[in-house]
């Protein structure tokens, strides 16, 4: 059936519904996840188009001169490490860049010789697979809920939330003004502004936003971007302001790992309860299960 006939059929069906039941049907059509299976393909394509747009605005390493701390921290890793943004470059893309000689998976241990060792890769964004795991398998139905992505960078969590969830509002808080501008560009082009808002700020100034959040996402926000004293103060701020009982916190890596080595007074057992996750939801062999296992879910406790 073509679009016009399908549209007429849907309208006729709605007209045939008892008038008293129509509001409930329309409400269900606006908020249900039952249509997800019909729209997922389109949503994946839209996210891939966004990745194309962002790739054309950014250097291959997807790091900017305006983030000197992050650039320096990558250089200080014990093993030679490069940043490859997992939202912009999936494994197939990396393979084709390696074939073209524009990227390498290895570095030379003795300059000029054949002896090579694998380079360390880190990503400052979630991949498409991780986003789908979070929205389809970790989080509940987000109808009417407010989601905050702390450190929204390219905006991947926000676009994923727009397309894969029914969250009523998705807020991104990002310290770096250049990345805020990129997010604004995507929001405008793809007409996401009815549900996505980006705030150019340090999360340590956003107490009321954290109070209102039903879901907070934190993908390794501070480790590469702040020194240890600032990381500790940012975590203290989050734990004081993310207090609404029952709200959900998604982190990479676990809270224990993020806080280890930092001087804080945070008592995890009186703030949150970890919710166990099933990481075996995908059967395909090319799934990066190690990346999924870094994702943790917590529920904020009554205090």
Ligand X SMILES: C[S@@+](CC[C@H](N)C(=O)[O-])C[C@H]1O[C@@H](n2cnc3c(N)ncnc32)[C@H](O)[C@@H]1O
State the residues that interact with ligand X by CB under 6 A. 124-126, 149, 151-153, 156-157, 173-176, 179, 202-204, 219-222, 225-226, 234
Can you say whether residue 144 is alpha, beta or left, with left for phi > 0 and alpha for psi between -120 and 50 degrees? left
At its nearest, how many Å lie between ligand X and the CB of residue 44? 16
Nearer CB in complex with ligand X: 127/247: 127
Strand partners, 167: 143
At its nearest, how many Å lie between ligand X and the CB of residue 156? 4
In whole angstroms, what is the distance from residue 249 CA to residue 256 CA?
13
In whole angstroms, what is the distance from residue 96 CA to residue 271 CA?
45
At its nearest, how many Å lie between ligand X and the CB of residue 169? 16
Nearer CB in complex with ligand X: 93/107: 93
Query: Is residue 234 within 8 Å of 204, Cβ to Cβ?
Result: yes
At its nearest, how many Å lie between ligand X and the CB of residue 127? 9
In whole angstroms, what is the distance from residue 266 CA to residue 240 CA?
9
At its nearest, how many Å lie between ligand X and the CB of residue 258? 12
Nearer CB in complex with ligand X: 107/237: 237
At its nearest, how many Å lie between ligand X and the CB of residue 217? 6
The DSSP H or E segment spanning 142 is none
For 154, residues 6+ apart whose C-beta sits below 8 A from its C-beta are: 54, 62, 85, 87, 88, 125, 179, 182, 183
3-class DSSP assignment, residue 166: coil
At its nearest, how many Å lie between ligand X and the CB of residue 124? 4
Nearer CB in complex with ligand X: 155/300: 155
Tokens 């529920």, residue? 299
Nearer CB in complex with ligand X: 17/69: 69
At its nearest, how many Å lie between ligand X and the CB of residue 130? 8
Nearer CB in complex with ligand X: 52/273: 52
Please name the residue ranges forming H helices in the chain.
3-16, 22-31, 36-57, 68-75, 91-99, 128-132, 156-164, 177-189, 207-212, 228-241, 255-259, 268-271, 289-292
In whole angstroms, what is the distance from residue 16 CA to residue 27 CA?
16
Residue nearest ligand X (C-beta atom)? 151
In whole angstroms, what is the distance from residue 187 CA to residue 299 CA?
30
Nearer CB in complex with ligand X: 74/301: 74
Nearer CB in complex with ligand X: 129/301: 129
């Amino acid at each position: 059936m073509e679009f016009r006939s399908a549209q007429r059929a849907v309208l006729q069906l709605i007209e045939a519904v008892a008038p008293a039941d129509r509001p409930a049907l329309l409400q269900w059509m606006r908020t249900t996840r039952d249509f997800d299976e019909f729209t997922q393909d389109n949503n994946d394509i839209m996210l891939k188009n966004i990745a194309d747009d962002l790739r054309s605005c950014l250097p291959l390493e997807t790091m900017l001169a305006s983030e000197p701390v992050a650039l320096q921290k990558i250089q200080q890793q014990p093993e030679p490490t490069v940043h490859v943004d997992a939202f912009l470059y999936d494994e197939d893309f990396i393979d084709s860049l390696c074939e073209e000689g524009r990227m390498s998976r290895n570095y030379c241990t003795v300059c000029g010789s054949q002896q090579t060792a694998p380079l360390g890769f880190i990503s400052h964004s979630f991949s498409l697979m991780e986003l789908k795991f979070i929205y389809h398998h970790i989080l509940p139905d987000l109808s009417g809920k407010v989601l905050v992505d702390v450190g929204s960078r390219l905006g991947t969590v926000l676009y994923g939330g727009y397309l894969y969830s029914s969250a009523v509002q998705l807020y991104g808080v990002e310290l770096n003004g250049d990345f805020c501008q990129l997010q604004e560009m995507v929001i405008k082009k793809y007409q996401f502004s009815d549900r996505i808002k980006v705030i150019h700020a340090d999360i340590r100034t956003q107490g009321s936003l954290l109070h209102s959040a039903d879901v907070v996402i934190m993908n390794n926000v501070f480790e590469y971007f702040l020194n240890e004293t600032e990381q500790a103060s940012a975590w203290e701020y989050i734990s004081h302001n993310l207090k609404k009982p029952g709200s959900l916190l998604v982190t990479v890596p676990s809270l224990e790992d993020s806080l280890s080595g930092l001087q804080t007074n945070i008592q995890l057992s009186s703030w949150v309860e970890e919710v166990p996750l099933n990481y075996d939801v995908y059967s395909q062999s090319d799934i990066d299960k190690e990346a999924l296992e870094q994702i943790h879910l917590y529920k904020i406790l009554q205090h």
